[in-house]
A and B are shown apart, each in its own frame.
Chain A
Amino acid sequence: MTIDKEISPADSRVGVAPSDAADADGPASAVPGPASPIEFRLDSGSGVPTYLQLVQQVEHALRLGYLKPGDQLPKVRDVVASLAINPNTVLKAYRELETKGLAAGRPGQGTFIQATLNHVALPELTELRRSLLGWLATADATGLDEDGMVALFTSALRGFRERRGAASGDSESVA
């Protein structure tokens, strides 16, 4: 397979540098040198595709301030060696982050955070919350209990995400 720019030349193929294979040792081995501020984890029971979990964790870290513009994301090889996942999965996640304008690849260096997430302004959040409360009241009046509301919301959200994913998914087929 061809791995693109995100793997720096120092990491690739010939003459395995000592630090490289040390990472293959597993998650316990510390990553030497300038590490990314974040470390990915996987929840295999969540049902969320692996690449999407990585995307969401970056977004989450951006929202919480663990990541800021200029920070480097974990190198593909390091992610692969610590999570035992297919490199294509990591590449797909990073491409998605690039498409969203959140990250950018720098040839030979890796992928770096480029933007912060647009924060929704407080008045808008308040308005969204008000309309959600209205919906909850309606659902309650219909006789739906809390679990029912959660199930309905989750189902609608999944459908929404899927349609949006299907719309954007076609444009990013593997090169």
Chain B
Amino acid sequence: MNVIEAIGLGKRYGSTWALRGCALAIPAGHVAALVGPNGAGKTTLLNLAVGLTAPTEGMVTVFDGWPAGSPAALDGIAFVAQDAPLYRNLSVADMLHLTRNLNRRFDQGYAEARLGQLGIPMGRRAGNLSGGQQAQLALTLALARRPRLLVLDEPMAMLDPLARHDFMAAVMAAVADGGVSVVLSSHVLAELERVADYLVLITSGSVQVAGEVDDLLACHRVLTGPAAEAGSYAQRLDVVNARRGGAQVHLLVRTNGRSGSAPPGWEEHPVSLEELALAYLREPGAAALPGPSRARAVEPAEVTNWQR
């Protein structure tokens, strides 16, 4: 099952396309990271997926075919927007009361137990909680709805390191408990490395890379060798990005599973998620997308050629 599927999805604000020709299928059971530069369209895509805004063209569905924003879709999705919006003047208890009454399903016992363990007082006004507590409260309200899909937009942007860790630990524990898929956006690559097992890279309004992290890492390598030979290998290999010095060059290549293909005198290294994402972000023309079986309506886009 795909938790989010987009076909030819586009959103225009005024004369500017925030998202265009977006094709995507995020399978269930993953923690999917939506990564891209500021203004790439991450928030727009998430808002479309949760039904907060309507597409200008194309369509987006959730849970295999339910239109985003339809009652069935909304019932299964919990969304925590940027900076964890809460009613600042309501007490924690009132926030729970409100959320329970606005939703068909709400696990009051779970929410109270969890807030108790976090030491968040029920009588405190939401606006008087610390940033970390506000984020945890927003997360608790979301999880108490027992969603099948948890969508988090830049959930940790405002948090200090300890609060970030605790927040993400809580999300991961919810995943371990089973039944919930997670889609989260961030531009802090380093903190996604430990949590994401599915990567969606968005640049200037369209999807550039999508796939399981293990697959992506397995089919990319960094080859380091003499700069003079780089040109000849660049024609034979799928080079995503090259970083060169006077004598030495690092080529980030798509090996497509053929490992140990380093030419004599070249060294082959595995890539980290961060290295891989940076390489693609530096080369907006390159793409790594799943074939049509994984995401219908995605053309089997192959890596665009690199020649420079």
Interface residues in chain A, defined as those with a beta carbon under 8 Å from any beta carbon in chain B: 1-3, 7, 11-13, 15-16, 18, 20-26, 42, 44, 47, 50, 76-77, 80-89, 155, 158-159, 162-163, 166, 169, 174
Contacts and interface: CB of A to CB of B under 8 A. Distances in A.
A24 B30 contact: no
Contacts of A11: 177
A1 B173 contact: no
Contacts of B30: 1
Contacts of B118: 25
Contacts of B110: 16
Contact of A26 (B29, B114, B162): B162
B197 A50 contact: no
B166 A26 contact: yes
Interface size class, chain B? 35 or more
Contacts of B197: 86, 88-89
B173 A7 contact: no
B220 to A, nearest CB: 13
B195 to A, nearest CB: 5
A86 to B, nearest CB: 5
Given A1-B30, A86-B194, A166-B260, A81 B181 contact: no
A47 B177 contact: no
Given A16-B110, A47-B272, A163 B260 contact: yes
Contacts of A25: 117-118, 166
A contact face: mostly helix, strand, loop, or mixed: helix
B31 A77 contact: no
Contacts of B9: none
Contacts of A155: 267
Nearest to B262: A159
Contacts of A2: 29, 178
Nearest to B28: A1
A61 B276 CA distance: 32
17 contacts: A1-B29, A3-B178, A20-B177, A21-B113, A26-B169, A44-B193, A44-B194, A50-B194, A76-B176, A81-B169, A84-B166, A84-B168, A86-B195, A89-B194, A155-B267, A162-B268, A174-B214
Given A80-B175, A84-B169, A85-B195, A21 B117 contact: yes
B194 A83 contact: yes
Contact of B172 (A13, A87, A162): A87
B269 interface: yes
Interface in B68-93: none
A128 B176 CA distance: 44
B190 interface: yes
